[in-house]
Structure 1
């Protein structure tokens, strides 16, 4: 059961999704700019729980070459750096709404021939080319209600190249609802899910593949 602060947090973001997509995007950008007024507000670089989550997430990937990777909601680039080390031959893109977070991400993982960071909104951004591997972690619950989650799920599916892999990581049991929107995308097939139920914050890692068409 989520704590009272978590429930209030989620209620606030559900209310934001009553705005237009553009209005919601502007408020979310302002919120995350405010949260990143100090470095690493969620301690992604130092918290043992977060580091363990990154490690186990990588173990769920189907063993295949990944040439193009995108991380949606990359924050200050902590996991982006992990991906760059794990896949030294891949082109990697980090996406976030906060330019302040992205400035720190660029300092952490310098942009060059194969790593780049872009400021964009998951509800509207559809870059080309498409990607072999898409990550979305601790992001979907900020989008709130049914219509926005459906739209975000379609956007994530649209990022994938044929036979591409999508990985979503969110708190459990909330992930059961959030990941359900990805299950009903006609282009995605669920490959696996594992729930890590140990305290302090249970989470689920779910993996899908896009069809070859």
Structure 2
């Protein structure tokens, strides 16, 4: 089977050039249900310092902010971040940063890292590196939440299942899987650092 490379910024620039909300985050019943399930999966009511990787236009960001003292939301697309900033303009606890994940990550500690519908854009090798980088950004008892679409998308280097299995393989001796659920369309796993 052919190994696919990580999708780069120009891929997402093209996607957002074609449509301001390319995945229908604001109108999709699937997205609304998944966002609700994601927030319900969080083990804590409040997080001191959280990181959202791949915030897109900020729909989930706005909901997640209610559970965070400080939330740093990042994306690879400047256009997406512009929309997210508008959506969250009244939220003083949210900051935004243009980052090319996994090559660029903030130099900080986060007790929550959320990576929703993002990791399958990475090659298996880049995802493995990203897993270890994120682990280093967690204090003891810090949590990583993975949420991914399961059906195969031909453009994407990996499937949602491959992403979650790889995380388990890399981290099962260092982190505890404290929550998991799946539907026909997506799965959610929450991992906590020992």
For the aligned pair, the TM-score class normalised by the smaller chain equals: 0.7 to 0.9
Aligned-residue offset at 1:60? 1.1
Which of the residues 93, 107, 128 maps onto 2:107?
A: 128
Partner Cα separation in structure 1 for residue 90 and residue 100 of structure 2: 20
Is contact 2:71–2:95 with CA below 8 Å preserved after alignment? yes
Aligned-residue offset at 1:147? 1.3
**Residues 50-70 of structure 1, C-alpha deviations (whole Å, 9 max, x = no match):** 010000111111135311111
Matches within 5 A, 1:69-148: 69-84=50-65, 86-87=66-67, 90-110=69-89, 113-144=92-123, 146-148=124-126
Is contact 2:179–2:190 with CA below 8 Å preserved after alignment? yes
Is contact 2:99–2:105 with CA below 8 Å preserved after alignment? no
TM-score (norm 1): 0.78
Is contact 2:52–2:61 with CA below 8 Å preserved after alignment? yes
Deviates more, 1:69-78 or 1:158-167: 158-167
What RMSD over aligned residues (CA atoms) do the two structures have, in Å?
A: 2.0
The total of aligned residue pairs comes to 183
Aligned-residue offset at 1:125? 2.3
Structure 2 spans left out of the alignment, 5+ residues: 152-158
Is contact 1:172–1:195 with CA below 8 Å preserved after alignment? no
Aligned-residue offset at 1:113? 4.0
- 2:188 matches 1:188: no
Which of the residues 139, 149, 158 maps onto 2:127?
A: 149
What is the SS of the residue equivalent to 2:139?
Answer: strand
Aligned-residue offset at 1:116? 0.7
Aligned-residue offset at 1:159? 2.8
The equivalent residue for 2:154 is none
**Residues 9-35 of structure 1, C-alpha deviations (whole Å, 9 max, x = no match):** xx7xx5334xxxxxx6xxx11111121
Structure 1 spans left out of the alignment, 5+ residues: 1-10, 18-23
Is contact 1:169–1:203 with CA below 8 Å preserved after alignment? yes
What is the SS of the residue equivalent to 1:162?
Answer: coil
TM-score (norm 2): 0.85
Partner Cα separation in structure 2 for residue 71 and residue 143 of structure 1: 16
What is the SS of the residue equivalent to 1:189?
Answer: strand
Runs of 4+ that moved beyond 4 A: none
Cα pair distance change 1:34/1:175, threshold 3 Å: closer
- 2:41 matches 1:63: no
Aligned-residue offset at 1:156? 2.4
Is contact 1:182–1:188 with CA below 8 Å preserved after alignment? no
Partner Cα separation in structure 2 for residue 76 and residue 165 of structure 1: 23
